[in-house]
Amino acid sequence: MLLLVGLGNPGAKYQGNRHNIGFMAVEAMARAYKFGPWKKKFRSEVAEGSIAGVRCLAMKPQTFYNDSGHAVAEASRFYKVPTHDVIVFYDEIDLAPGRFRMKQGGGAAGNNGIRSISAWLDDDNFRRARLGTGHPGDKDKVHSHVLSDFAKGDAAWVEKLIDAVAKSAPLLVAGDDEKFQGEVMRLAPAEKAGGRGPKAQTEN
């Protein structure tokens, strides 16, 4: 089994926040591959299904973003899922809006949700699907930036990015993160998302 974990905050108040793009990604995959209904389990909302024959559990921790690790650890221990089969989708302010990169292991880079998961799993070797939301340009504005809603003008690129993640998911569950990343960026090129920059690459 793979755990497809989206990071975000629970409740309608946060639904459209940049911080909740991880929730949006796992919801899109669950819809696209007709997962079962969402249920409350493991301090999360979870939906079970399969992608390309691989059993998956989509998770939206309800513990609030910064304590996501508690929920992820409960599910991973229950199903005996190894750390490298935990895939976390989350907003990355250090990537331009619409950019996408995969990474396995490494530090939290200031992301408290990732830090929490590393601490609860006692291992940082899980896979990270980083969805670029852009930096506000001032570190003092980061908190308000991630907890504010996407602007109306962001809707098109957000939808393309989330849709690309769902369409490309068979490559992800096959374990080919590099091809998955490349296909996501092919379907939702950053140049059309307002985020021109260097060619995407996989970080390991």
- Distance from C-alpha of 115 to C-alpha of 92, rounded to nearest angstrom: 14
Q: Is 13 exposed, middle or buried (0-12, 13-18, 19+ CB in 10 A)?
A: exposed
Select which of 19, 84, 135, 143 is catalytic.
Answer: 19
Query: Is residue 19 annotated as part of the catalytic site, yes or no?
Result: yes
Question: Ramachandran region of residue 52, left (φ > 0), alpha (ψ -120 to 50) or beta?
Answer: left
Which backbone phi and psi does 91 adopt, to 5 degrees? Answer: -75, 135
CA distances from 72 to 29, 86, 149, 192 (A): 18, 8, 25, 34
Show the beta-strand stretches assigned E in the chain. Answer: 2-6, 39-41, 44-51, 54-61, 86-92, 100-104, 127-132
Residue 72 zone, left/alpha/beta (φ > 0; ψ -120 to 50; rest): alpha
Q: Please give the positions annotated as active site.
A: 19
